[in-house]
Amino acid sequence: MSEPLDGIGELDVLVVGAGFSGIYQLYQFRKLGYSVRIFEAASDLGGVWFNGYPGCRVDSDHPLYQLSLPELWEDFIWKERYPSWRELYDYFQYVDRKLDVKKDVSFNTRVVAAHFDQKTDRWIVTTEDGLIARPRFLVLCVGFASKSYTPAFKGLERFEGICHHTAHWPREDVELTNKRVGVIGTGASGVQIIQEAGPKVAHLTVFQRTPNMTLPMRQKDLDATLQEQQKVLYPSIFRRSKQTGGGFSFERYPKPLFSATPEERFLHWEDLWAQGGFHFTVSNFNDYSMNEDANREVYNFWRDKVRKRIHDPRMQELLAPTIPPHPLGAKRCSLEQSYYEVFNQPNVTLVDLNETDISEVTCKGILTKDGIEHELDVLVLATGFDSLTGGLTQIDIRGVDGVSIAEKWANGVYTNLGMTCANFPNMFFIYGVQAPTAFSNGPTCIEIQGDWVVQCIKHMKENGLTVIYPTPEAEAEWRGVVMNTGYRALINSAKSWYVGANIPGKTIEPLNYTGGVNKYLEIIEGIAKRGYEGFQFKPIIFNRPGRSLNPDPVTLNKVLAGLAEIGMSGIKAIDFKVEVRAYFQGIFFRCYVKWHWWANICQ
Ligand code: NA7
């Protein structure tokens, strides 16, 4: 193992990942004067936007899909309401020019392990190339979709054409024009590549298991002058996004569905449909994601809208079935532009995998159970991700008891606030499991969590605290909150990545906090205000060289529990100031006793 570059060894903070969240952390920690560096596996900034397949674009509305820092939005002009990955890539280059990000990023540096060292209270972080960093704090900003999932299709390695998973699409792109293209999967990635490739390929074969309840994107070019004029509203728009459930500037319709007349419902849906994007789901009636009957009404509206665009009755039934396969919104509704028109083309085949599943991949294409071999030049695997947990569990992260995060989460996820884990001291993660993540606008969630982490570490520095970790009780409590809110929603009725059901063997449970961004913010701010309730700290005093008193968090937990038993309850966190005061009070008391003793002797 070699030592890394000078200065990396004993960092204050190591951030993993250089997408929105990693860059935001770097920027905030730098401002406070911390030594901070990012390790990034790719060769450039952008995280999930570093590369993209044809048609890949964001489905959050302009202007909220960017960082809210005025020094960034003041001068940047976006071209499209829903930017493509290329425009987002350009945005990250612009962010670098503005904030000088890259000087503090080690690219092509994939973190493979992170072990907490109790002797020094630092993380020992190892990269694929054998570099080692020893940061005090580890902030994992790997995104919620960084571990791709490829089903174990028999014979996949035999295919002689070109085959890529959408998450690993080559930057130099792949020629699809006049090719026979097959796409497995109709999630967001499948929908986007199908509508992009459809008009140019020789033949398109779509292998569908579940139809996507897509929403009209209503994409448009943005006018630069208008955009400049609207910037006066941006501070309010960004602040407002943190006050809403979804992290957007719009909210739920404040009424249950059946309390509205059919006319009110119809006109409201028409209005949302015309606005496009997530307006239809985010601003729908406030019970549609909880109440099955209400959801069915929403589905019927959606189905009838979509069917009008599809010519063939068989295609209509496959793409927008009479009976919904699951409640609308229980799987992520993707945004589309010309998705259904593609299925009206004569050169497009839709294979219903429920009727005839994939038997195997052959050297020429895909053989389905009905005995048909679909010959292909290019096979696209739009089969998704081990979302929310996979980004962390694929790294060998081990805390104070030597247990890895993958082992800890094998039978269910335990975190505190979707940012920390008991027995994994000084480790934070952003935009991941048990946070509002997949039910929020990305940058909004990233900033809310990022600010909390920065403030927490600042609090520790100001109070002479070196180590923080949540208690197992706090973790259990947060898990309860996530489960209670999650199981109330209809998301559990679908086999989706929202609940881990897309990965064979993964524990199925709500993986996001579905109580809303605004409520989440209120909770985490309250915990900080109450002195980081549910967390324990270790003060610097335990860390001085030569002192034998250096308890690990597990021992410290036991000591605190013991103190609580003898009546010193209420000790949740060791505060440095309190410690120092107690230390000097102790000296004073001993001096007083000695003086008293001598005074008595000398009498
Ligand atoms: P998704 O949304 O997880 O979609 C994956 C698709 O792949 C989905 O249609 C699956 O069908 C299909 N799939 C998965 N395994 C198989 C097998 N074995 N056979 C056939 N079809 C299969 O991933 P995306 O990349 O589209 O989107 C991920 C999210 O990341 C996206 O929402 C953005 O927010 C970012 P299923 O629905 O399970 O029947």
Distance 461 CA to ligand 1 centre (A): 43
3-class SS of residue 524:
helix
Of 189, 194, 281, the residue with max ligand 1 atoms within 8 A of its CB, to mutate for a pocket test, comes to: 189
**Greater confidence, 601 or 95?**
95
Q: What is the pLDDT of residue 233?
A: 98
Neighbours of 231 (CB within 10 A): 16
Which pLDDT band, with edges at 50, 70 and 90, does 521 fall under? very high
Reported as a single tens digit per residue, the pLDDT across 60-96 is 999 999 999 999 999 999 999 999 999 999 999 999 9
Distance 219 CA to ligand 1 centre (A): 23
Check whether 335 has a pLDDT greater than 60: yes
Check whether 2 has a pLDDT greater than 50: no
Percent of the chain with pLDDT over 90: 86
**Greater confidence, 3 or 238?**
238
Distance 384 CA to ligand 1 centre (A): 4
Which residues have C-beta atoms less than 6 Å from ligand 1? 145, 151, 166, 184-190, 207, 209-210, 332, 353, 382-385, 495, 497, 502
The protein residue whose alpha carbon is closest to atom 17 in ligand 1 is: 151
The answer to whether the CB of 212 falls within 8 A of the CB of 357 is no
Distance 343 CA to ligand 1 centre (A): 19
Q: What is the pLDDT of residue 592?
A: 44
Distance 68 CA to ligand 1 centre (A): 31
Which pLDDT band, with edges at 50, 70 and 90, does 173 fall under? confident
Mean pLDDT of 339-345: 98
Reported as a single tens digit per residue, the pLDDT across 253-278 is 999 999 999 999 999 999 999 999 99
Distance 304 CA to ligand 1 centre (A): 24
Check whether 346 has a pLDDT greater than 50: yes
Reported as a single tens digit per residue, the pLDDT across 464-511 is 999 999 999 999 999 999 999 999 889 999 999 999 999 999 999 999
276 closest CA partner among 361, 337, 192: 337
Check whether 597 has a pLDDT greater than 90: no
Q: Tell me how far the alpha carbon of residue 248 is from its chain's centroid.
A: 16
The answer to whether the CB of 119 falls within 8 A of the CB of 550 is yes
The protein residue whose alpha carbon is closest to atom 27 in ligand 1 is: 188
20 closest CA partner among 53, 75, 58, 54: 58
Which pLDDT band, with edges at 50, 70 and 90, does 51 fall under? confident
Reported as a single tens digit per residue, the pLDDT across 111-126 is 999 999 999 999 999 9
Q: How far apart are CA 53 and CA 173, in angstroms?
A: 7
The protein residue whose alpha carbon is closest to atom 37 in ligand 1 is: 210
Check whether 395 has a pLDDT greater than 60: yes
8 closest CA partner among 128, 117, 120, 104: 104
Number of Cα atoms under 13 Å in the Cβ half of residue 129: 13
358 closest CA partner among 163, 210, 207: 207
**Greater confidence, 538 or 43?**
43
Reported as a single tens digit per residue, the pLDDT across 184-212 is 999 999 999 999 999 999 999 999 999 99
Distance 435 CA to ligand 1 centre (A): 21
Which pLDDT band, with edges at 50, 70 and 90, does 172 fall under? confident
The protein residue whose alpha carbon is closest to atom 32 in ligand 1 is: 188
The answer to whether the CB of 128 falls within 8 A of the CB of 363 is no
Q: How far apart are CA 479 and CA 415, in angstroms?
A: 7
Distance 383 CA to ligand 1 centre (A): 4
Check whether 598 has a pLDDT greater than 50: no
The answer to whether the CB of 143 falls within 8 A of the CB of 15 is no
Ligand 1 atom with the shortest distance to the CA of 501: 38
Distance 474 CA to ligand 1 centre (A): 33
Distance 382 CA to ligand 1 centre (A): 6
The protein residue whose alpha carbon is closest to atom 4 in ligand 1 is: 187
Distance 98 CA to ligand 1 centre (A): 36
Q: What is the pLDDT of residue 339?
A: 98
The protein residue whose alpha carbon is closest to atom 10 in ligand 1 is: 185
The protein residue whose alpha carbon is closest to atom 14 in ligand 1 is: 383
327 phi and psi angles, rounded to 5 deg: -60, 150
- Under DSSP, the state recorded for 333 is P
Q: What is the pLDDT of residue 586?
A: 52
Mean pLDDT of 328-346: 98
Distance 7 CA to ligand 1 centre (A): 42
Mean pLDDT of 439-443: 97
20, exposed or middle or buried, with CB in 10 Å at 0-12, 13-18, 19+? buried
Check whether 416 has a pLDDT greater than 60: yes
Q: What is the pLDDT of residue 10?
A: 86
The protein residue whose alpha carbon is closest to atom 3 in ligand 1 is: 384
379 closest CA partner among 206, 188, 214: 206
The answer to whether the CB of 95 falls within 8 A of the CB of 72 is yes
Check whether 577 has a pLDDT greater than 80: no
465 sits in which H/E element: strand 465-470
Specify whether the backbone of 126 is left (phi greater than 0), alpha (psi in -120 to 50) or beta: beta
Ligand 1 atom with the shortest distance to the CA of 166: 25
What are 387's two structure tokens? 């979302």
The per-residue pLDDT of the chain, averaged, comes to: 91
The protein residue whose alpha carbon is closest to atom 18 in ligand 1 is: 151
Check whether 568 has a pLDDT greater than 90: no
Mean pLDDT of 163-184: 96
Distance 185 CA to ligand 1 centre (A): 5
**Greater confidence, 3 or 309?**
309
The protein residue whose alpha carbon is closest to atom 33 in ligand 1 is: 188
The protein residue whose alpha carbon is closest to atom 23 in ligand 1 is: 384
Check whether 560 has a pLDDT greater than 80: no
Q: Where are the alpha helices (DSSP H) in 168-261?
A: 188-197, 224-230, 234-241
Ligand 1 atom with the shortest distance to the CA of 496: 38
Q: What is the pLDDT of residue 324?
A: 98
Check whether 578 has a pLDDT greater than 60: no
536 closest CA partner among 511, 515, 500, 564: 564
Number of Cα atoms under 13 Å in the Cβ half of residue 576: 16
The answer to whether the CB of 144 falls within 8 A of the CB of 431 is yes
Q: What is the pLDDT of residue 252?
A: 94
144 closest CA partner among 8, 269, 20: 20
pTM beyond 0.95: the answer is: no
Percent of the chain with pLDDT over 70: 88
Of 502, 503, 511, 512, the residue with max ligand 1 atoms within 8 A of its CB, to mutate for a pocket test, comes to: 502
Cβ within 8 Å of residue 575, ≥6 positions away: 463, 465, 531, 537, 539
The protein residue whose alpha carbon is closest to atom 28 in ligand 1 is: 384
